Structure formats: structure tokens, C-alpha cells
Structure 1
């Protein structure tokens, strides 16, 4: 029987190696190297890692790794039987935390399912409930009030305003026409001079009206509401409108 930690430390010192040099060569962290030399194996991640690190460290120092592992198993190995998954006591809190997390997730899922079930049940009951009639609530249903039938009253049709005897209406029926209008005769006051666009009517009140028409064939004339005969001439013409009659001047 020998001390594992003392054997490892003495072998390293004989080779004049520092822990930092060993870490660089073996890739085993310094704190784990110190734990093996101090036989503080609880610092190690687990029994599997302990055996692997011991084998690597012993072989690196030129020791018989099998003897070192047998010594570790004979003195410390039985403790691993009671440790789940071959882990050390340092892993137990981690395992407990994992179990607690799984338990919390399971409880949360059950709560969510219960809430969803309650919501679905309430929705089904609301859909199956028969509609409440107004009479059951003591509310009288409002009956439509009778509407008064509208009496059809015949409105009198508007009567057309009768044109005065002196009203002269000149309409450009078939095209534009240039017009000069004088009141009282050929030497009278000019009442209008310009173009009457097609479809437009101009109206004057005068007992005597002298009119020069640029295109008499497109013009229609009414005096006192009465339509006068059309003027067939195509060139300019002067007309005298007096007493409801039309007199061609030239």
C-alpha cells in the first residue's frame, strides 16, 4: 500500500517539472493535478475522470499506471458503488437540479392542460345554452307602431308661364350665328351684338326689334310664344320684328 498523491508528487519533483508544464503537456488542468497529488478526488468531475486522469498523469511521469489505478480502486473505488452514474458527490447537486427542473416542467404542463380544458368546457356550455326569450326576463317585446298611411294628394301641375306679347326669343338651333340686335328699329340702341352658340337662346322684351343675322338658316325665332316661319336664306339678312310678325329688310 502506498500513497497515490505522494508518489505522483515525488515523481514530478524528480523530473523537475512544474504543474504548469504538466498541464501544457497533458492538457489536464492544474487544479485537477493538485487534487490528484493531494488525493482530494471529490474535486474531480467523477470517478471515470479520476481514473482517466490518473492513468494519463502516471504514464506521463513514467510510473506504472496499472498499479496506481489498482491502489485507487482498492482504497477509494467502493465509494463509487453508491454514486449514481459513477459520479462523485460533486455531481449530486447537479443531478438534483435536473430532476427538480423536470418536475417543474411537468407540473407546469399539467396546469396549462387544466386551464385549456376549463376554457373549452365553458365555451361548450355557452354554446349549448338556449337563447333567453324577452318574456322570461320580464321584458315586453316592442310591437311596431302603426304607421300612418300617407295620403296621396295630387299636387297641381305647374302651369307654364305664358310669354308676353313683346317677348322675342332667338335660338341657334343648327349652328352658331352672329347677331346684332337694336331696339326700336335700324337706328335704335344696340341691345346685343355677338355670337349665339348652337343650342343657346337669347331673349329680349321690345315692341319693335331690328335684328341682323349672319346665318339666318340656323336660327329659330318666337314672338310672344308663337313660332315664326324659318328664314331660308343662307347669307346675312336684316329682319324687323313688330306686332308678332317678321319683316325681311333685305
Structure 2
């Protein structure tokens, strides 16, 4: 008779711990520890420690409470009640006497970002930065970059006294040039040319490829002057006649008048050269 009376008491004691209640509820729901681990993203080792009320196996007091609440939610038990029961058991076991190393109160462990998600966000951020860099590089106009580089190199190599270039002899008598004679610029090699206004500001520019010709518009002749950083790469003809070099090689020249008479006067003796000789000039040395 005594045995019959003690059996229920032992059964009641067996389920007085919160871990036992969680285990029994899990088994009643037909779930395994692996099922609960998949739902909560908590390792089976920690879930098993909670069921055994072996809290020393868990990393810290706040983790015990958080894991137990997540466990309860996974098997449809009131998580607030389970959390309160766990805290009481921790106090009874004097678990709080252990040094607490956790630096913050974690939220639901199931909601913490995984390592895979973190690395994915890092990779996406790097891709966005790389794409922005490529966009910035491609958004720069190639011609503008070329102009900036050539202008900078030309300004650095410009002689202190640009006006020291050889003074052109006047045009020979008997070879007058018409005021409206066409002025044609031809690229001997790739060369950048610019047209400056009265204040010296380059308003119009272009690059001539080898052999490419450009007839200067009449409006440009009256309003602008010529500049280039590679004089030897540019052939200037007025009315079909080569006026010769317009400045020292590899030196920035600017303020070159585009008026036919001024170009012929600048070229001096070159204005009297025959047409066959002038047409052969672009081919020499290139």
C-alpha cells in the first residue's frame, strides 16, 4: 500500500522541472529534438541540456532563458510562462553566482543573422562599390580626358618665352594670297587642336587622326586663334599651299592667327614651296 502511495508522488516530482515539461510536450506533439532544432536553429546539444535542466552546459544565463522561450514557442507552450519558470530555477540553483560573460541581452536566437546571410550582404556591398567605380570610370568622356592630359603636358613643356619662336619672313612678292583662301588643317599623326576666343579660352576643340583634314570655317578664321601641343604633327595649308611648321616641335603654341595672310607670313619661305613638295610633307617621318 505504501508503494502505491509513493508512486504518484515520484511521478509528480519527475515533471516538476521546466525541462521535463518541455520534453513531455515535445513527445506529445510527436516531435524529435532534431525537429525542434530545425524550428529554433538551436543545436540539439543545447536543447537536450534544457530538457535535463543541466544549465551549466549552456553559455550563459540569458541564453538559457532565450533558448527555453524559443523551445516553448516551437512546441506551442506559453513562452512567457516557461521563461519565468526557467528564471526561478536558475535562482534556486544559484546559477546567477557564475560569472556572466555575455555583453548584451540577445533577442530570439532564431532571429539572429546567420553567417551565410552576413557574407552575402558583404559580397553585395562590394559588388555595388565596384559597379559604382566602373560607372564613374566610364562616365568620363575619353576626349575630355585626352584634352586634359595633352593640355597639362603642353603647359608643363611650354618654353618661358613662347614668342621667341623664329620670326616669319614676309610673303614673297608676286605670291599674294586671297583674303578668303581656304585654311585646311591636316593631321600628320594624331594631334589635338583647339580654337581660342579673344580671352584665350578654348571654346572649340577636336582631335585629328593621321591623314584627316579639317577646313577651318570662315567664322572661326575671324573669331578664333589656333592652339596645339604638337605643332610638328599638324600640316597647315592656305589656298593649297603648305605654310610650314607653326611652332617648335613638342611645344605648346597658341594665339596662332587663322587669317590666310597671317599664316602665310608666319610660314615665310614655306609659302613659296611648290604644291608637289607640300603634299609629300605629311608622309615624311611617319
For the criterion TM > 0.5, the same-fold answer is no
Q: TM-score, normalised by structure 1?
A: 0.32
Bigger relative contact order, structure 1 or 2 (CA pairs below 8 A, ≥6 apart):
2
Bigger helix fraction = 2
Give me the TM-score of the superposition, normalised by structure 2: 0.28
Q: Name whichever structure is richer in strand by fraction.
A: 1
